[in-house]
């Protein structure tokens, strides 16, 4: 009897434990010295939290008569905690009465998960778009039954597990074309069936007046300068049929490189592929390498003009703040470190402007300690992977690492490996992965 009871107890205990493990990843707990709310429903984009079983009420204002008002500041109340889903980069390629679309996977954070996608199209720029049923968790589709010669405008929607739309890509257009008929009769001149060139047009946002670099299969193929609105466009011609990994990065006003935005593109012969909605993540720096606990640390960088920047400060607990970038895309946030524990912390940022939402950019670290130490120089060179110290991570560094791959390192290379790679005293795939992350081409 006792054994039976123990088994039952063990079963239910473990069941509850397993249940908690399965679901605690999704539950968000917000703690305060004054109150505690479990599993808050956080919504953005004009929606409100709702539940049949509870109601959350709050008020902000002075206890006395009158209401706070200011034209120069805004106050954010509630959960300072900004869930988001990055918008996909969409590629379209026109065919005969059809258009093929592919898009990058949208990444959601803080409770939002991209669980499915849908594609809408319209013959009018800006919509309204016609959507079919959800496509499920796929990264490509073909819209057929279209009229050749008509320009169609497409958007890709990101859906959560319940089918709610949680992000929408920027619009991209394509015009289906009938296959060219060979030759044709008369006339002098050169042989028919001339080779059609395959072209890819890339467009998106970087930083105002910044140099934007395009990499094809990790090798630099083009650079351009973004406009004052941070928009850029690049065209790559004579591309062969096949699958490519393209990447884009930019440099901010101080010459600091962004992280790579990478997107696979499949190219078919004789078509024009439009890749739209590339949004380079913000650059980020801090004014102190060590900050005295309780003092402010300035977190700053560049993104698109008038973008909403979400700054995350990551330690045991993750803290979020929001600030807008100015007309030059520059943002600055003074973060009060009194809430941080002593020790090393990292910070990163992402941006949202119009319907575009970037992913998080590279992170930078700082120490919370007992004194303030200015960040000496802004780090323009990649933090890791640059084995020959030329401020680039490219084929030369790859060659140096390949030379030592699975071989015993000499003393000088050991030092370099500790400084520039993962510091385990050998060159293996992990070191190459670090290089791939910091790659500049």
Residues within the interface to another protein (CB under 8 A)? 4, 7-8, 11, 14-15, 18, 21-22, 104-105, 107, 114, 137-139, 215-221, 240-243, 245, 247, 260-262, 264, 362, 384, 387-388, 390, 394-396, 398-400, 402-405, 410, 412-413, 416, 422, 429-439, 441
Residue 30 CB, shortest distance to another protein, in Å, is 25
In Å, what is the CA distance from 229 to each residue of 114, 125, 128, 134, 142?
A: 29, 20, 26, 34, 32
User: With respect to another protein, which residue has the nearer C-beta, 367 or 436?
Assistant: 436
Residues 116 and 358: their CA atoms lie apart, in Å, by: 19
Residue 158 CB, shortest distance to another protein, in Å, is 12
User: With respect to another protein, which residue has the nearer C-beta, 31 or 219?
Assistant: 219
Residue 375 CB, shortest distance to another protein, in Å, is 19
User: With respect to another protein, which residue has the nearer C-beta, 123 or 219?
Assistant: 219
Residue 429 CB, shortest distance to another protein, in Å, is 5
User: With respect to another protein, which residue has the nearer C-beta, 312 or 337?
Assistant: 312
For 69, the token pair is: 């008002």
**What is the Cα 1 distance to its own chain's centre?**
58
Rg (CA), the chain: 26
Residue 35 CB, shortest distance to another protein, in Å, is 31
Residue 10 CB, shortest distance to another protein, in Å, is 8
Contact 62, 68 (CB under 8 A): yes
For 361, the token pair is: 């950019």
DSSP state of 251: B
Residue owning tokens 């703690």: 31
User: With respect to another protein, which residue has the nearer C-beta, 6 or 338?
Assistant: 6
| Cβ-proximal residues to 306 (8 Å cutoff; 6+ apart), any chain | 324, 325, 326, 327, 353
User: With respect to another protein, which residue has the nearer C-beta, 209 or 216?
Assistant: 216
Q: What is the DSSP string of 54-77?
A: -------S-SSSS----SS-----
End-to-end CA distance of the chain: 70
User: With respect to another protein, which residue has the nearer C-beta, 146 or 236?
Assistant: 236
Residue 417 CB, shortest distance to another protein, in Å, is 10
Helix, coil or strand: residue 270: coil
């Amino acid at each position: 009897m006792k054994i039976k009871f123990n088994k039952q107890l063990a079963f239910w205990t473990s069941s509850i434990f397993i249940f908690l493990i399965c679901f605690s990843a999704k539950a968000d707990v917000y703690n305060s010295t004054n109150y505690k709310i479990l599993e808050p429903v956080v919504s953005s984009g004009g929606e409100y939290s709702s539940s049949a079983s509870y109601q959350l009420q709050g008020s902000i204002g002075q206890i006395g008569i009158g209401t706070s008002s200011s034209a120069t500041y805004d106050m954010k109340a509630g959960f300072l905690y900004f869930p988001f889903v990055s918008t996909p980069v969409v590629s379209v390629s026109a065919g005969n009465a059809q258009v093929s679309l592919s898009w990058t996977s949208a990444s959601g954070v803080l409770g939002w998960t991209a669980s499915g996608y849908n594609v809408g199209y319209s013959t009018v720029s800006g919509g309204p778009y016609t959507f079919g049923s959800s496509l499920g968790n796929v990264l490509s589709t073909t819209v057929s039954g279209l009229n050749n010669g008509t320009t169609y405008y497409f958007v890709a929607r990101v859906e959560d597990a319940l089918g709610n739309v949680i992000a929408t890509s920027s619009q991209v257009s394509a015009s289906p074309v009938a296959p060219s008929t060979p030759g044709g009769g008369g006339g002098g001149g050169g042989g028919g069936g001339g080779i059609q060139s395959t072209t890819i047009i890339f467009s998106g946002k970087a930083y105002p007046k910044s140099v934007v670099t395009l990499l094809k299969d990790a090798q630099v193929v083009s650079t351009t300068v973004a406009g004052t609105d941070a928009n850029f466009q690049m065209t790559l011609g004579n591309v062969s049929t096949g699958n490519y990994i393209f990447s884009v990065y930019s440099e901010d006003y101080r010459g600091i490189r962004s992280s790579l935005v990478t997107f696979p593109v499949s190219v078919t012969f004789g078509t024009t592929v439009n890749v739209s909605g590339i949004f380079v993540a913000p650059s980020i720096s801090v004014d102190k390498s060590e900050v005295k606990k309780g003092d402010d640390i300035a977190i700053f960088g560049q993104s698109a003009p008038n973008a909403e920047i979400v700054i995350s400060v990551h330690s045991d607990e993750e803290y979020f703040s929001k600030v807008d970038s100015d007309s030059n895309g520059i943002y600055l946030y003074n973060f009060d470190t009194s809430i941080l524990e002593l020790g090393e912390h990292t910070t990163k940022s992402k941006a949202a402007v119009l319907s575009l939402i970037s992913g998080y950019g590279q992170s930078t670290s700082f120490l919370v300690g007992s004194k303030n130490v200015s960040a000496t120089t802004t780090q323009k060179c990649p933090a890791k992977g640059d084995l020959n110290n030329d401020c680039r991570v490219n084929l030369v560094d790859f060659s140096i690492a390949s030379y030592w791959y699975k071989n015993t390192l000499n003393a000088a290379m050991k030092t370099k490996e500790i400084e520039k790679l993962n510091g385990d005293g050998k060159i293996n795939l992990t070191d190459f992965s670090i290089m791939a992350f910091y790659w500049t081409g």
